Amino acid sequence: MSLVHSRLVASIGAGAAAATLLSAAAVLGAPSVAGAAPTATAITVVSPAGGKVAADTTRQVVTINVAGLTGATLDDASIQDVYLGDNCQSLDFYVTPGTTQLVVRTPDPGGCAPTSGVASETITINFANGVGALTKTLSGLVFITPPDLDTTAPVITDLSSELPAANRIKQFMSTGNQVIRVKAGSGFSFSGAAGQLSATLGGKPLAEIKVYKTDGTVTTAAGSNAENGNWFTGKTSTGMTNGNLVITHRGVSKTFLAADLGTSVVTLPVITGVTPLSSKSNTSVTVTLSGTFTGATGVTFCGVAGTNFTLNSASTSITVKTPTTGIADDAAGLGAGVFSGVCPIKVVTPAGSNVHTAKSILSFLAE
């Protein structure tokens, strides 16, 4: 086994070579006779599933099964090189973990160019010492351009998409049910065709995925250069553990790490009940909040801090007094010259504050 091949054995491992056969075998020719070129009854792409490989990506592993080989031996010493199509030739990063299987790795750097002009690539195994070659046309192997994202805040909450880039929200709630927007890079477009796109955030699937054209209209068409830089939206699921995004597009998956995206998943407080629902202006009243308040350190009303804050041991209930000043007839609260109105209630935690809902308000009455 050559030095190149020995290194590849260590980097690929036995697992890739033992992948399950997925695609159907195709008859390549009749059994060979003495002195004839090598033949095989079938050459089949075993992995990746469906034969779809990320184009222009280094060290992608392709496992090929060779059945019924005659006229040659499938081992490291007997193989000269491997072609995975016209644009990916003379590959010598391969191993033969058995007598019927060949594991090939795409070049580093560069990878293999996207498949173009044919339904799938032609695989050629060239044997050394003039023995000849095995060729399989329409092998089912296809190199597909992997997803690419915009360089500026590509993953955000959809509601913050109209804000300046620096202010767009990249923090998502672990409780899910948020719509996020994912923007493609300037040289890539997402396909809106059925079954072409799926994604997970924090290890959980995005639901209700919709693909948009660059003009903001929903599309069900395949991607095109004219739509480079388009985007898709999806609704997050509960239980996310991190901000990593995995996009599968046309059968090829790519992982985008939270550290590169600037995304994060946080557990924010949730207010489910407020008692009482109203207070007199400029009068302090004790308010009880119900919900989930892990790590809470305080409460604000119209942005003004309450007093006498107490969190119960289960982090499910807070009692706090409304401030007597700073809300009514004050620019920091309801506004100068305003003596009554509805104030949003915010529970403060290190991870952030609760999302404003109809259950997180207190009315101040002028009496």
pLDDT above 90 (res 339): no
Does pTM surpass 0.85? no
Residue 25 and residue 134 in one domain:
yes
Residue 274 and residue 226 in one domain:
no
pLDDT for residue 13:
43
Residue 115 and residue 183 in one domain:
no
* CB neighbour class for 198 (10 Å; exposed up to 12, middle 13-18, buried from 19): middle
Q: Which residue in 108, 89, 106 sits closest to 54, CA to CA? A: 106
Q: What percent of the chain has a predicted confidence (pLDDT) above 70?
A: 90
Instruction: Count CB neighbours of 309 within 10 A.
Output: 16
Separation of first and last alpha carbons in the chain: 91
Q: How many domains does the chain divide into?
A: 3
Residue 96 and residue 122 in one domain:
yes
The CATH number that applies at residue 175 is 2.60.40
Residue 150 lies in a domain: no
Instruction: Give the model's confidence band at 337: pLDDT under 50 very low, under 70 low, under 90 confident, else very high.
Output: confident
Q: Which residues contact 34 (CB under 8 A, 6 or more apart)?
A: none
Residue 351 and residue 236 in one domain:
no
Residue 122 and residue 163 in one domain:
no
Cα distances (Å, whole numbers) of residue 357 to 30, 168, 179, 271, 284: 72, 20, 16, 8, 23
Residue 18 and residue 113 in one domain:
yes
Residue 280 lies in a domain: yes
Condensed to tens digits (0 to 9), the pLDDT of residues 105-119 reads 999 989 999 999 999
CA distance 288 to 271: 10
Residue 336 lies in a domain: yes
Cα distances (Å, whole numbers) of residue 38 to 69, 88, 154, 245, 359: 7, 22, 51, 46, 75
Q: Where are the beta strands (DSSP E) in 20-78?
A: 42-47, 52-54, 61-67
Residue 229 lies in a domain: yes
Range(s) of the domain holding residue 274? 270-365
Backbone torsion region of residue 144, taken as left when φ is above 0, otherwise alpha when ψ lies between -120 and 50, otherwise beta: beta
Instruction: Give the model's confidence band at 267: pLDDT under 50 very low, under 70 low, under 90 confident, else very high.
Output: confident
Q: Which residues contact 335 (CB under 8 A, 6 or more apart)?
A: 341
Residue 75 and residue 27 in one domain:
yes
Condensed to tens digits (0 to 9), the pLDDT of residues 172-223 reads 988 899 999 999 999 999 999 999 999 999 999 999 999 999 999 999 999 9
Kindly state the average pLDDT of the residues 268-280.
93
For the chain, give the mean pLDDT: 88
Sign of CA dihedral 272, 278, 282, 283: negative
Among 216, 247, 266, the domain-final residue is 266
Residue 252 and residue 276 in one domain:
no
Residue 149 lies in a domain: no
Among 211, 234, 266, the domain-final residue is 266
Residue 317 lies in a domain: yes
Q: Which residues contact 231 (CB under 8 A, 6 or more apart)?
A: 181, 182, 183, 184, 190, 211, 212
Residue 35 and residue 130 in one domain:
yes
Residue 247 and residue 296 in one domain:
no
The CATH number that applies at residue 286 is 2.60.40.10
Residue 325 lies in a domain: yes
Residue 240 lies in a domain: yes
Condensed to tens digits (0 to 9), the pLDDT of residues 235-253 reads 999 999 899 999 999 999 9
CA distance 241 to 200: 11
Residue 136 and residue 234 in one domain:
no
Lowest mean pLDDT among 53-57, 204-208, 338-342: 338-342
Residues facing 53 on adjacent strands: 143
Among 144, 175, 208, the domain-final residue is 144
Kindly state the average pLDDT of the residues 330-334.
79
